[in-house]
A and B are shown apart, each in its own frame.
Chain A
Amino acid sequence: MSTETRHSVNYSTRVDKVGIRPRLVRTIRALITIFIALTLLIPVVWMGMTAFKSRADAVASPPKLVFEPTLEGFVSLLTKRRQLTAEQKAEYEQRTDLNWADEIALERGQAIIGQSEYAQRLRNSLIIASTSTVLSVAMGLLSAYAFSRFRIPGEGDLLFFILSTRMLPPVVVTIPIFLMYREIGLYDTHIGMILLYTAFNLSFSVWLLKGFIDEIPREYEEAALVDGYTRLQAFVRIVLPQAVTGIAATTVFSFIFAWNEYAFALMLTTDTARTAPPSIPSVLGTGGIEWAAIAAGSLGFLIPVVIVTFLLRRYLLRGVTFGAIRQG
């Protein structure tokens, strides 16, 4: 190549001035993201729709996209009902003290005779899931801190042991646990379920939190120790604020596990401590599957998880632990 072939560059080569192309790329990216999000949301939306469908609409084929919303599903979910004979139904229709829920039941020839157990099951789920989450995160935090900061004899083996508690699938250990629980009176108790979920989540939270705490430089605590604080005070005032991201992530994961857990709950509870997951499918009810009721139950079941995740979303994003330590 000789010098003659050299052209002068009389247009800008700055990337940010190229215009259309990057903007197009961005738009396409956004569209793809929206598409994926919508695809993933279809089952949830479908569930939400089914919850408001009438019995007939819920099983209609082809599926109905447009339908007349009804609270039938919620009524069947939240109440116990009795089938009425034709005479009884006529008698009921004369009464004036019926509320809207009674009306809906009556349309199907049923009378409400009490509350269903759904609310109580949901409360059990809430109590068990949140208590076990708090316990496993709190204990996990302390042991993760110890593993991260102190010289512990056999540290590697201990950590592996902790992890190994998670290696067996729940189904495998349910029977022995069932037998043990029955023997010591923990069967179908809140405490029993809380203990079980805490133990199960603990290995996970120790490992996850250890990773987060390892990343917090220990000079911060040492500065606090020297500045006149005890180990525990330094932990609370210096380490905790910086471990927030990790705590939030661990909380969400632990909560979701305990909230969704099915196998243990099915085997180890019957009534007092029964949680929502095994009880929702049992709304099957009399006379065919009540899809609307199941969908309504699932919808109610979904809400706490959404709330927890939503409250912690700010901390779930990375980048909270920026430091004032210069990496020399």
Chain B
Amino acid sequence: MSNVALQHITKRFKDTVALDDVSFSINDGEFFVLLGPTGAGKTTTLRVIAGLERQDDGAVLFDEINVNQYQPAERDIAFVFQQYSLYPTKTVFDNLAFPLRSPLRKLPRNEIEDRVHEVAEKLRITHLLDRKTAKLSGGEMQRVSIGRAIVRTPQIFLMDEPLSNLDAKLREALRIELQHLQKTEGSTTLFVTHDQIEALTMADRIAVLQQGQIIQVGTPHDIYDRPATTFVAQLVGVPQINLMKASRENGTLSIHDSAVQLPIPDKLDVESEFLLGIRPEDIRPAADGDQHGEVVLTEPLGVETVIHMRSGKQTLLSVVPGITDYRIGDPVSFNIVQDRLHFFNLDGARV
């Protein structure tokens, strides 16, 4: 395992810039998540690290060694593809053994067998070893494809949305398994996803990618509590953050098109008009609340309930634990947690 650094990577495809001056580094043993919407350049980043795509500019370093000129095989990385990409003409055993049989490694036959069995046991696929891969279910295929990656000890694991083709339950199970695996092996992992839940739950650190640019790098905590832009703020958190235009006047802060008015926090250095972000869990219905509105919709999810509240023309989302007895049309009073407000300039940058 080693640490991996990207320095000013730029990659163009014909007219589009897929990656625009991307730099970040992954520490040894870290679970690093690349988060971003479809088309942000996440997969391209992985492919550049793997050497499957040559960057137009910039350098990829493994343990401070520039690997720009290295072939994919020489980079010694393991790649888990979104589409699994198991070799269709081979059995599960042969798929797992394939990386070990590489002429680069020249392992003796019995060692290959030992390691394949060890990995199969770890992923609970021992009973599948003799099967042809085409006859496996999606979850089994993804297990095998993860197995093919962990059967050796590469510099880094690259995982390209490995869970996105699985159904929700399986995804959750495999997510936990993967996390457990990564922690016990202490492997350096770069995991690509567009799913913010996967990112928040699994990552040691997250890099948010938007249109080929790194917007923010930080711990899940950083990303969630101190989003660098409105884009990041909206990308993480379900339900989405409440984001509204607001303005300041004589020591009060008022949200446009609504009756919500708040005292202005001290030391707030912001234009007279700005964007205000409030996480749904920071809007707390209370009988003696300072703000007032009307319930327009409730979404009881069991563990929590999302309450859509209207104040003026604005609809605010609030999350409360458990199931509430608010009915549509009920008047509702609520408080807003003052010290957890997010301020952004109109161009989206955090203040």
Least distance between A245 CB and chain B CB atoms (Å): 12
The answer to whether A324 has its CB under 8 Å from any CB of chain B is yes
Interface size class of A (residues with CB under 8 A): 20 to 34
CB neighbours (8 Å) of B88 from chain A are 220, 242, 321-325
Give the Cβ gap from B89 to chain A, nearest Cβ, in Å: 5
Tell me if A87 counts as interface (CB < 8 A to partner B): no
Once the chains bind, are A227 and B84 in contact (CB under 8 Å)? no
Contact assessment for B103 and A229 in the assembled complex, using a CB-CB cutoff below 8 Å: yes
Docked pose: A227 CA to B74 CA in angstroms: 10
**In the complex, what residues of B have CB within 8 A of residue A326's CB?**
83-84, 138, 141, 165
Question: What's the Cα separation between A228 and B138 when bound, in Å?
Answer: 25
Interchain nearest-CB distance for A322 vs B (Å): 5
B-contact bits for A214-240, CB 8 A (1 contact / 0 none): 000101101111111110010000100
Assess whether B181 is interfacial by the CB under 8 Å rule: no
- Cβ of A154 < 8 Å from any Cβ of B? no
Q: Is the CB of A324 within 8 A of B79?
A: no
Is B214 among interface residues, defined by CB-CB distance under 8 A?
no
Interface of B is mostly: loop
Q: Quick check: is B72 within 8 A (CB to CB) of the other chain? A: yes
Interface residue? A43 (CB, 8 A): no
Q: Is the CB of B76 within 8 A of A328?
A: no
From 61 to 76 in chain B, residues with beta carbon under 8 angstroms from any chain A beta carbon are: 71-73, 76
- Residue in chain A with minimal CB distance to B166: A326
Contact A227 to B136, CB < 8 A, known contacts A219-B83, A242-B88, A323-B88: no
Q: Are A226 and B79 in contact (CB under 8 A)?
A: yes
Q: Give the interface SS of chain A, mostly helix, strand, loop or mixed.
A: loop
> A22: CB under 8 A from chain B?
no
Name the B residues within 8 Å of A322 (CB-CB).
88, 134
> For the complex, is A211 an interface residue (Cβ under 8 Å from B)?
no
Establish whether residues A225 and B73, one from each chain, have CB atoms under 8 Å apart when the complex forms: yes
- Of the residues A220, A230, A238, A327, contact of B73 by C-beta under 8 Å: A230
Most B C-beta atoms less than 10 A away, residue of A217, A220, A223, A325: A223
Judge whether B102 and A220 touch: CB under 8 Å. no
Interface residues as binary, B226-237 with A (CB distance below 8 Å gives 1, 0 otherwise): 000000000000
- Answer whether residue B81 sits at the interface, using C-beta atoms and an 8 A cutoff: yes
Q: Roughly how many angstroms separate A229 CA and B106 CA in the complex, as a whole number?
A: 12
Task: Check if B78 is an interface residue, CB within 8 A of chain A.
Answer: yes
- Per the bound structure, the CA–CA distance linking A321 and B134 in Å amounts to 10
Which one of B83, B105, B136 contacts A328 once the chains associate, using CB atoms below 8 Å? B83
Minimum Cβ distance to chain B for residue A219 (Å): 4
Task: Indicate if B50 sits at the interface (CB-CB under 8 A).
Answer: yes
* Pair A220/B99 contact, Cβ less than 8 Å: no
- For B86, the closest partner residue in chain A by CB is A324
Q: Which residues of the partner chain A approach B85 to less than 8 Å between Cβ atoms?
A: 217, 219-220, 222-223, 324-325
Contact of B87 among A220, A327, A328 (CB under 8 A): A220
Given A226-B72, A226-B77, is A328 in contact with B133 using a C-beta cutoff of 8 Å?
no
Chain B residue at minimum C-beta to C-beta distance from A220: B85
Give Cα A322–Cα B86 distance, bound, in whole angstroms: 12
Q: How far is the CA of A217 from the CA of B87 in the complex (A)?
A: 11
- Whole-angstrom distance between the Cβ of A321 and the nearest chain B Cβ: 8
Q: Does B164 lie at the interface of the complex (its beta carbon under 8 Å from any beta carbon of A)?
A: yes
A324 to B165, CA, bound (A): 13
Taking the closest CB of chain A, its distance from the CB of B227, in whole angstroms, is: 29
- The CA-CA distance from A222 to B79 in the complex, in Å, is 9
Is B52 part of the contact surface with A, judged by Cβ < 8 Å?
A: yes
In the bound complex, what is the Cα–Cα distance between A238 and B79 (angstroms)? Answer: 16
Q: Are B98 and A217 in contact (CB under 8 A)?
A: no
**B138/A242 in contact, CB under 8 A:** no
Contacts of A222 in B (CB 8 A): 50, 52, 72, 79, 81, 85
| Cα distance, A241 to B102, chains bound together (Å) | 17
B73 / chain A contacts, CB cutoff of 8 Å: 225-230
B104: Cβ under 8 A from any A Cβ: yes
Q: What's the least CB distance linking B39 to chain A, in Å?
A: 15
- B148 is an interface residue with CB less than 8 A from chain A: yes
Interface residues of A (CB under 8 A from B): 217, 219-220, 222-230, 233, 238, 241-242, 321-328
The 5 A-B residue pairs with the shortest CB-CB distance, nearest first, are: A228-B102, A227-B99, A219-B85, A225-B72, A324-B86
> 18 extra interchain contacts, Cβ-Cβ under 8 A, other than A227-B78, A242-B88, A324-B88?
A219-B83, A220-B85, A222-B50, A222-B72, A222-B85, A223-B148, A225-B71, A226-B50, A228-B99, A228-B103, A228-B105, A233-B103, A241-B89, A324-B84, A324-B85, A325-B84, A326-B141, A328-B82
Residues of B within 8 A of A (CB): 50-52, 71-73, 76-79, 81-89, 98-99, 102-105, 133-134, 136, 138, 141, 148, 164-165
